[in-house]
Amino acid sequence: MPTELRLRRVRLELRTLFALALPMMIAQLASTAMGFVDTVMAGRVSPQDLAAVALGNSIWVPVYLLVCGITLATTPNVAQRFGAGRHGEIGPLVRQALWMGGGIGVLSASLMWNAEPVLHLLSVDQALVDPTMAYLRAVACGFPAVALYQVLRCFSDGLGHPRPSMVIGILGLLLNIPLNYVFIYGKFGVPAMGGVGCGVSTALVMLFMLVAMSLWVKR
């Protein structure tokens, strides 16, 4: 193969790879950035709320990344069958992945709900334990939803459609900001929750992402 033709083929493959990878990277960055937004907005309430949310993030974000890593196996499995034309095998595969994702989501939520011994093991001040656990338990309520979302996201990515997850991730991040404002400061009849409100808004955003991706997959 001539060198010029080889270079042209490499550039084409790199361009295609970048077009697929960039939306995935943006979607992942938008999802993990919710913890950063929570920390910034909680810091405007009080030092205690800031510390509780930052400490909670150090627990739930790694758990979230673990869930993402496990469900990520769906993408290559779907892509392999889609590329080979074995479309009939994709549905059963994704349904099994949804069962697995739901189980992982419930297990992760249970671990976070009962994470207080970890805080004691880390010698966290007792005054921070209660607000941190309240924040973690609020976020934990959204974990079954976000685990199912990750499976559907990987399904879409495996079919060569990474942009929906990017758009939904960005919308979720943008939605997290006004929801934080409402639940932190108590607007529109909602009681002020301080840092715990960040956890409530994060759980609601996780549910929104699942609903949005479910509508896309159905379409």
Read off the pLDDT of residues 104-160 as tens digits, 9 standing for 90 and up.
999 999 998 998 888 888 888 888 888 889 999 999 999 999 999 999 988 888 887
What range does the domain containing 155 cover? Answer: 25-218
In the chain, how many domains are there? 1
Has residue 4 been placed in a domain? Answer: no
Contact 52, 132 (CB under 8 A): yes
Q: Which of 54, 42, 52 is nearest to 194 (CA)?
A: 42
Has residue 19 been placed in a domain? Answer: no
Residue 180 to residues 20, 97, 204, Cα–Cα distance (Å) = 32, 31, 10
Report the alpha-carbon distance of residue 210 to residue 44 in Å, rounded. 30
Q: Given this model, what pLDDT does residue 149 score?
A: 93
Has residue 145 been placed in a domain? Answer: yes
Residue 22 to residues 17, 25, 33, 102, Cα–Cα distance (Å) = 8, 5, 16, 27
Has residue 15 been placed in a domain? Answer: no
Both structure tokens of 119: 């805080």
Q: Which residues of the chain have pLDDT under 70?
A: 1-32
Has residue 14 been placed in a domain? Answer: no
Percentage of the chain modeled with pLDDT above 70: 85
Has residue 114 been placed in a domain? Answer: yes
Q: Given this model, what pLDDT does residue 123 score?
A: 81
